[in-house]
Amino acid sequence: MNDFTKEELKELLDCIHWKINEGQEENLTTAVDKKIQSMIDNYCEHEETVQDSAMVDCCKCGWSGFK
């Protein structure tokens, strides 16, 4: 789904919240906040099913990628 770990997404969200709390809120900041929160809420700890020697699929979310 993405290249961020759940911990990295939480760190990004903390930075956005800091910016908002400092009074620097902008429409873009709020939009990014919502998108990052959605990524955290929908984060999948992929349960891999091997497709072949190089490819794997996640049986929970349908993600496909390389080992």
- pLDDT of 51: 67
Mean pLDDT along residues 3-28:
83
Tell me the torsion sign for CA atoms 28, 4, 45, 52: positive
Query: Given strand 55-58, what is the order of strands in its sheet?
Result: 48-50, 55-58, 64-66
**pLDDT of the residue at 44:** 84
pLDDT in tens, 22-41: 776 666 678 888 899 998 88
The structure's pTM equals 0.59
